[in-house]
Amino acid sequence: MSCKVKYCRFSNYHITLGHRCGKCKQYGHGQVECNNLSLKNELWEESKEDFLEEKDYCKIKDCEHKKTHKTKSHECSICFSKNHSKLNCDKNPENNIKLECPLCLTSNNVSLIDNLIYGLEEKCKACMMNPVEILLPQCKHAVLCKDCCKEINSEKLNYEIIDELNLINNFSFIKNIGDLFKKKTNIPNPYCKIVAGMGCILFVRKNINTNKFEGFFMHNDSWGQYGPKTDERPFLNDFIKNYQIIDC
């Protein structure tokens, strides 16, 4: 069974439901049918009973729509490139982390994809269970497994948030940030930005669940200008998700 979208170049790799429109980025139609309800309806009626054989289902591990396309036609939900999972995407911030080498304390920018190594029998120095899987790119030590790299990075992020709480009181022009938030009772889940100079910004929120103040510090080198490995905007976006900005 093949895609029936007009002018589809890869019709043998997905059915119509698996075709993503180049205009609106939605699935089930193409650019010719986009914004034309009549053509969309005709396409739906023509293809609604189309299916792939089970042997042709997408075999990407985390694919949520494996029945609509073959593996070669799978699109990563992060970069939209073909034939790989978001779990293996080099643009996924979860695959690009910062950590200190436990041996020499050198700071390393680690890609859990590019810096993955195979075949070592030596055990990870952190968990002492898994084999060593990561070559730290800056110091060239191979002492950690992939899982421990993720765990160390997760702990580091938590420490960063906690440590920044102490910075809040260091800005003399804010006498009582608590009073500032109290004045904004009409704004649910507030957060504010405090300019720290040299392109650095401290983001402060009142945690929705605990009502405690938390801070997230963005260095001037963390805004993506040097590529995905030093881009901390995804972590910032997660920090302020579901919060509304107020003026400091």
Q: What is the mean pLDDT of residues 214-241?
A: 84
For residue 20 the two structure tokens come to 């993503």
In order of 11, 20, 26, 97, the CA distances from 34 in angstroms are 17, 11, 9, 40
pLDDT in tens, 8-45: 999 999 999 999 898 888 889 999 999 899 999 999 99
Query: For residue 170, is pLDDT > 60?
Result: no
Query: For residue 64, is pLDDT > 90?
Result: no
Cα–Cα nearest to 68, from 107, 31, 19, 130: 19
pLDDT value of position 39: 94
pLDDT value of position 197: 66
How far is C-alpha 56 from the chain's CA centre? 29
Query: For residue 168, is pLDDT > 50?
Result: no
Query: For residue 138, is pLDDT > 80?
Result: yes
More confident residue, 152 or 23: 23
pLDDT value of position 19: 92
DSSP 8-state secondary structure symbol assigned to residue 20: B
State the residue for tokens 């075709």: 19
pLDDT value of position 154: 57
How many Å apart are CA 112 and CA 89, to the nearest integer? 10
pLDDT value of position 102: 80
Cβ count within 10 A of residue 216:
20
